Chain A
Amino acid sequence: MATMASNRALPAIQVDPTNKPYFDAAREGKLLIGLCKDTNKHFWYPRGCSPFTLSNNVEMVPAKGTGTIYTYTVMRTKEPYCVAYVELDEGVRIFTNIVDCDMDALKIGQKVKVVFKPTTGDSPPATMFTPA
């Protein structure tokens, strides 16, 4: 059995001043992740403070855009879609969708790469992954 992922309609993403750099980069096809400069540790999701120290000594830095599937599930709605956590090569696990693939053939541990998918109107794109 094969269940192909569709390009389903995605809702708009609400941007705020603290995550705007992330979404500006996403519009250019670049994946950023948080870096706490107090501890030199990456974090996810992007925010205006360090989740390790609470200081605002943070920066959004480029990620390679590759990783592996930590876990996934296919939501068996009328238009099925695959929700997943992808573990980036940098170590953080991010909530996402796996797209442009046969969702029934996916496996935990599988290598994936980032792809950006348009959302509603002029809202920034969503950060998704597809088998590498």
Chain B
Amino acid sequence: MSINGKAYIVGAYEHPTRKADNASVAQLHAEVAYGALQDAGLSHDDIDGYFCTGAAPGLGPLNMADYLGFTKLKHLDSSDVGGSSYVMHVGHAAEAIALGKCSIALITLAGRPRAEAMATGTSPRTWGANVPDDPFEMAYGRTVANAYALCAMRHMHEFGTTSEQLAWIKVAASHHAQWNEHAMLRKVVTVEDVINSPMVSDPLHRLDCCVISDGGGALIVTTPEIAKSLKRPLVKVKGAGEATKNQNAGYTDLTFSGARYSGPRAFEEAGVKPSDIQYASIYDSFTITVLMQLEDLGFCEKGQGGKFVSDGNLISGVGKLPFNTDGGGLCNNHPANRGGMTKVIEAVRQLRGEAHPKVQVPGCTLALAHGTGGLLGTRHGSATVVLERV
């Protein structure tokens, strides 16, 4: 059994705020949910499936379902794999819809780390009590930034990848962000700007890192029949894959990400190849995240990512693989420190032909969205979806 063609994304909404001083996290969830309903042409009472993560306030989905006034939910999911969760939720929603467990599923994300002055990447972070790896990692100052930098350093050692090549990823994102009125960083930057920005964790500079922002987003996934009854362009869920990648009992290999597993699963279900993809949303917590995922998804050979991203190859209208045309996490936003939601939203915009005209991929009918959640250098979730305009 496959989910290919069994579900469609009919609502997508990205919150315009980047700093939500005067909103609660719950209120932001409500605002993105309302935005997605408006986008789809659906109403509150239509929702019978609800998805969120541990970033939502309360016990799993319970407190948010209460706050949002949902009393008729037939399917609930708060699976949490960090920033990749929302990509994974699209696949899970499609599964639930294909099995008839629900017919209109809402996925929400919101957060306000910027208003809360969180040092997301540079202060040690963990997730809850009794985490068995914490006694072997937290005393060593593990942060988000250094857990990704460890991969970048090894990639450079094994494959000769350079800081200039990584910088091209940020340059491409900035070319796209200049057209996004909501983006936090709209200034077009050069390779020199990136490599001359302060070092955060060798070899990652400040401009190799994503922004810290407030906001959020929501998606609505439904049946083919309901999708066809609505007025929005049809965006089909064609394939989905998920995976974890971790330390492998101490035999850890930092040269690849979980995309090596989730990508082929999504492509197989969709019945397409990487070379068929016209637009790709690629998780960009750091430049190295993008480079490794592109290799692991099969857009280029392992080790050739540096060459692949250079010279504007990711810039819409310039290169072969337009990516993150909203400016991505590197320039636009990274709401709640979780970028998977906005990855799916921009892919939907591209397929609908609703991206900014300066970055819209002409005739875009096949897109990919991919997320990496958690820490690239220790353990992370990986989720890939292939979406098609029909």
Contacts and interface: CB of A to CB of B under 8 A. Distances in A.
Interface of A: 8, 10-11, 13-16, 18-19, 23, 33-34, 41-47, 51-52, 70-77, 81, 83-85, 91-97, 108, 119, 126, 128
Given A13-B139, A23-B135, A75-B201, 8 more contacts: A10-B139, A15-B135, A52-B249, A71-B153, A75-B122, A76-B201, A93-B247, A96-B140
Interface string B134-163: 111111111101100111111001000000
A71 B141 contact: no
Contacts of B139: 10-11, 13, 119, 126
Closest 9 CB pairs of A and B: A44-B250, A92-B250, A73-B149, A71-B154, A51-B249, A45-B136, A43-B249, A126-B139, A83-B146
Contact of A83 (B130, B142, B152): B142
B200 A76 contact: yes
B140 A92 contact: no
Interface of B: 122, 124, 130, 132-143, 145-146, 149-154, 157, 198-204, 247, 249-252, 254, 377-378
B250 A72 contact: no
B378 A95 contact: yes
A43 B139 CA distance: 20
Which among B136, B152, B254, B378 has the greatest number of chain A C-beta atoms within 10 A?
B136
Given A83-B140, A108-B157, A14 B150 contact: no
Nearest to B378: A95
A62 to B, nearest CB: 16
B250 A71 contact: no
Nearest to A50: B249
Contact of B157 (A42, A71, A92, A126): A71
Contacts of A95: 136-137, 140, 142, 247, 378
A74 B133 CA distance: 21
Contacts of A23: 135
A77 B122 contact: yes
B297 to A, nearest CB: 22
A72 B249 contact: no
A108 B153 contact: yes
Given A95-B142, A96-B140, A84 B122 contact: no
Which among A19, A34, A72 has the greatest number of chain B C-beta atoms within 10 A?
A72
A120 B51 CA distance: 41
Given A11-B139, A77-B122, A97-B140, A84 B201 contact: no
Given A45-B136, A71-B157, A108-B153, A93 B252 contact: yes
Contacts of B150: 71-73, 83-85
Contact of A70 (B154, B204, B378): B154
A43 B140 CA distance: 19
A67 B61 CA distance: 46
A14 B201 contact: no
Nearest to B204: A73
B128 to A, nearest CB: 12
A70 B150 CA distance: 9
A47 B246 CA distance: 15
A71 B202 CA distance: 11
A19 B146 contact: no
A74 B203 CA distance: 8
Contacts of B378: 95
Contact of B251 (A14, A73, A92, A126): A92
A101 B105 CA distance: 55
Given A73-B150, A108-B154, A85 B199 contact: no
Contact of A42 (B138, B143, B250, B377): B250
B326 to A, nearest CB: 29
B136 A94 contact: yes
Given A72-B150, A75-B201, A94 B135 contact: no
Contact of A19 (B135, B200, B202): B135
A19 B139 CA distance: 15
A93 B141 contact: no
A33 B250 CA distance: 10
Contacts of A15: 135
Which among A14, A23, A83 has the greatest number of chain B C-beta atoms within 10 A?
A83
A72 B151 CA distance: 9
A94 B122 CA distance: 21
A71 B151 CA distance: 8
B153 A13 contact: no
A74 B252 CA distance: 20
A97 B141 contact: yes
Nearest to B135: A13
A81 to B, nearest CB: 5
Contacts of B247: 44-45, 93, 95
A85 B252 contact: yes
16 contacts: A16-B132, A23-B135, A45-B247, A52-B249, A72-B150, A76-B198, A76-B202, A85-B377, A93-B250, A94-B136, A95-B136, A95-B137, A95-B142, A95-B378, A96-B140, A108-B153
